Amino acid sequence: MKYSQRRLKVFVAFNKPQSTADSEDVDYLSEAAVKDEANAVYQSLTATGHEPRYLAVENLSADLSLIEQFAPEVLFNLCEGFRGSARHEMHVAGLWELLGIPYTGNSAFTLGLAQNKVLSKKLFESKKIPTPPYQVYRETPQDTYLAYPLIAKPAREDASLGITQESVIHNFEELQQAVNRLLQKYRQPILVEKYIPGREFNISILGNHPARVLAISEIDFSRLEEGYHRITSYEAKWLTDHPIYHHTPAIVPAEVEAGLAHRLEDVALRVYELLSGRDYGRVDLRVDEQGHIFVLEYNPNPDISPDAGYSRALGAAGIEYHDFINFLLQEALTRKAL
């Protein structure tokens, strides 16, 4: 991989986790995890001879002052929102663009597009990329034309926020309850789509012109106890003391028949190109018992902590973590030079 041998001044920017007054709300866990990710990137940059500093984004006037003082040559963008709101992820990246600072990862445009799950699905449909049938609710459902079972999720969140075992719906009463619960908590449109029983895959993608698939990862549901839905819920991603977390490991690389592997890679690269993916990303898909593929979403700037799925995909592709981090820096600098 190509990367800079020159010592660079790098700001490692991340959204400062916000404390929560509700001790029962575990949504803060996914937000707090970004600090661990920032630490890993910082340590890698230090180990490869760069000059990194942290930028915990929270107060724009103070943050802008720090940027002016340090004058970074490149910004490693790990910001997933602003002051606890994921919907501002694209706006933070847009700020770096306005300031003219080269930054790593997906563009502000792509971050906003991918976060809007409904708009993404419309684009998938326009290009005949298979995605589950869906409806969008902004208030209590009065009807549905979808066939059960269904799954409900906030339309503009990531990190599996709002997706729990209660998200899978089997009848109209459950549909109303699930949508009302999510509307009350997240105060945004709720996406309800056909639940696809079967296998779940994550396709990690790296690079630009051309991009390439690193490895196919499959969520192993075989150890999940009877009664649990086979989904990658918030519990499975973030609640380390929950049995679902321990019983849904990701297998990288996955054992996939060659024909299916080729189709998964092709669809994932089409999604990456359609949504103008840049540098790195992940496409999440389901495959039903008949072998039909359904794209769930594109995840730009996925977690790159050393123990995260994307890093395991790097390892499966034979790419060292330090090389990956430096590759992203070089890509950002190359864009500045264009």
pLDDT one-digit tens code per residue, 107-144: 999 999 999 999 999 999 999 999 999 999 999 999 99
DSSP 28-54: HHHHHHHHHHHHHHHHHHHHTT-EEEE
Any idea which of 61-75, 105-119, 139-153, 157-171 has the lowest mean pLDDT?
157-171
Residue 248 pLDDT more than 90? Answer: no
User: pTM here?
Assistant: 0.91
Q: Treating both helix axes as pointing N-terminal to C-terminal, what angle do 309-316 and 321-337 enclose, rounded to 10 degrees?
A: 100
Q: How confident is the model at residue 85 (pLDDT cuts 50, 70, 90)?
A: confident
Pairing of strands 190-194, 250-251: unpaired
> Which percentage of the chain shows pLDDT scores above 70?
89
Q: How confident is the model at residue 206 (pLDDT cuts 50, 70, 90)?
A: very high
Residue 103: half-sphere exposure toward Cβ, Cα within 13 Å: 26
Q: What tokens were used for 52?
A: 């990194």
264-323 pLDDT per residue, tens: 999 999 999 999 999 999 999 999 999 999 999 999 999 999 989 999 999 999 999 999
Report all structural domains of the chain as residue ranges with CATH numbers, in order of start: 9-104 (3.40.50.20), 133-194 (3.30.1490.20), 197-300 (3.30.470.20)
DSSP 222-286: TTSPTTS-SS--HHHHH-TTSHHHHT-PEESS----HHHHHHHHHHHHHHHHHTT--SEEEEEEE
User: Rounded distance, CA 305 to CA 321, Å?
Assistant: 10
Contact 272, 223 (CB under 8 A): no
User: Rounded distance, CA 182 to CA 175, Å?
Assistant: 11
Q: How confident is the model at residue 231 (pLDDT cuts 50, 70, 90)?
A: confident
Q: How confident is the model at residue 221 (pLDDT cuts 50, 70, 90)?
A: confident
User: Rounded distance, CA 326 to CA 308, Å?
Assistant: 18
Q: What is the DSSP letter of 147?
A: P
Torsion of CA 60, 80, 234, 118, to 10 degrees: 110
